[in-house]
Amino acid sequence: MFRIIFVCFVTTALAVLPGCGHRALTVTCIDVGQGDAVLVSFPNGKHWLIDAGGNPAGDTEAGIDPGHRNVLPVLRAKAIQSLDVVVMTHPDEDHVQGMLAVARHIPVGRVYWNGFEGSRTEQSVRAKFAQKGTTVEAVSVGSRTLVGDVEVAVMSPPLSPIMGTRSPENENSVVLLITYRDKSILLTGDVEAEGERELLRSAQAELNEISLLKVAHHGSDSSSTPEFVRRTHPGIAFVSCGKRNRYGHPSLDVIKRFERVGTQLYRTDQCGMLEWTSDGHSEAVTTMLPCNENALRGAQGVEN
């Protein structure tokens, strides 16, 4: 009998052990409704979370916080016990509100933010991290780090912050460029037209031919300028936006810009969670919900 039980336990352990032999770079765009949350899992087993979604109105009513509802379930389903780095691209509610849940439940090694004091939620998130003993650090262009053999470079905010625009917080979002062998990923936060111009000016050739682009500002027409789309020329682009959102994201104009350069566009409002995986040479995208070709191309996009 004990032998049978032993065999049961061994079988269970082998079947349950998740993520063994994981050697790919994975970018998961979590569907948090109208907001952003991107999980980057590196080949060496490290995990970075870039934003954690939130209700744009800042509503913290129990049960609707995307941190609890969407982000934590994904981390748990992936058996992620801790995050090495958390990045708060900018202080808008729809990017940072969910961080409160993350701060409470998941040990975090380090927090990067763009140095822009923002909403009360953003301040309480930083305070929560600081209370937990996590290092909170403002970053700007030029910072680079190696995570295994993957390079992560901070492309924005610029050293002299962009001011005097409609939304300086958005313009000065933390933008990350992740490079893994032949593949590069650009995560843009909510950066808008002026920020994109600054990016193109400072980054030069680094931003040409991006493999995966997280479309800025949920596909708003204040971002993804024709010049930016043409230069970055992404093969695949993810749009994180809410189903039937009141802002009309993503803009039909933006969808057409990406269509013109042949980008394969995936939207969380139509496909649910999006996941891009690459070994540095080949790449694959999986979606949580069935996504037909029309949905990918954005043929059902909302006119702004």
Partner 1 sequence: MRPLFAATLGMLFASFAVATLPNRFLVLILMTVGVLLVAAIPPAGSYKRIAIVIGAILGVMAVGLHPLANAGIPDTLPSEIIGDVCSPIRRGQTSLRFIVCTSTGKYAIRTKAEQPLSYLDRVRVTSEFSLPEPPRNIGEFNYQQWCRFHHIVAVSSAASNVVLLETRTNIVGRFISDVRTWIDTRCHSGLPADTAPLASGILLSITDDLPFELQESFGRTGTVHVLSTSGMHISVLVATVGTILIWSGRTGSAGVSLGLSILVGYASGGGPAPLRAVTSLVARLMARLLSRSPEPWHLLCLCACAAMLRDPFVVMDAGAQLSFLAVCGLIVAAPFADLFGERIRQSTSVVLKVALTLLQGFIVSFIVTLVTAPAVAFHMQHLSLISPVANIPVGFLSEWALLIGAAAVTIGDIPFVGKVIWTLLNGVLQSLTFVANLLAEVPYADVATGVANPHAVVVASVGLVSGFTQLGRKLCGSTFASQPQYYIPWSPSKPLT
Which residue, chain included where needed, has tokens 């949905």?
Answer: 295
Contact status: 30 vs partner 1 (CB under 8 A): yes
Helix locations, 132-241, DSSP H: 168-171, 193-203, 226-232
| Beta-strand relationship, 264-267 and 236-239 | parallel
Q: Which is nearer to partner 1, 17 or 205 (CB)?
A: 17
Contact status: 1 vs partner 1 (CB under 8 A): yes
Contact status: 285 vs partner 1 (CB under 8 A): no
Does residue 115 contact residue 162 with C-beta atoms inside 8 Å?
Answer: no
Task: Return the range that interacts with partner 1 (CB under 8 A); candidates 3-11, 166-174, 212-220, 296-304.
Answer: 3-11
Contact status: 63 vs partner 1 (CB under 8 A): yes
Contact status: 120 vs partner 1 (CB under 8 A): no
β-bridge partners, 154: 176
Round to whole Å and give the CA distance between 191 and 16: 41
Q: Which is nearer to partner 1, 83 or 265 (CB)?
A: 83
Tokens (6 digits) for 120: 């009360």
For the residues of 10-52, what is the DSSP string, one character each?
HHHHHHH--STT--SEEEEE---SSS--EEEE-TTS-EEEE--
Tokens (6 digits) for 232: 């970055």
Contact status: 239 vs partner 1 (CB under 8 A): no
Q: How far is the CB of 120 from partner 1 (least distance, A)?
A: 17
Residues 252-281: x/- map of binding to partner 1 (CB under 8 A)?
Answer: ----------------x---xx--------
Tokens (6 digits) for 210: 């991006």
Residues 7-26: x/- map of binding to partner 1 (CB under 8 A)?
Answer: -xx-xx--xx-xx-------
Q: Which is nearer to partner 1, 78 or 197 (CB)?
A: 78
Which residue, chain included where needed, has tokens 């111009």?
Answer: 197
Footprint of partner 1 on residues 64-83 (CB under 8 A)? 65, 68-70, 73-81
Q: Which residues, 6+ apart, have CB-to-CB distance to 189 below 8 Å?
A: 36, 50, 51, 89, 90, 95, 114, 156, 170, 173, 174, 175, 216, 217
From 3, 21, 62, 205, residue interacting with partner 1 (rule: CB under 8 A): 62
Contact status: 105 vs partner 1 (CB under 8 A): yes
Q: How far is the CB of 112 from partner 1 (least distance, A)?
A: 22
Name the residues that contact partner 1, by CB under 8 A: 1-2, 4-5, 8-9, 11-12, 15-16, 18-19, 30-31, 61-63, 65, 68-70, 73-81, 104-105, 107, 268, 272-273, 288-289
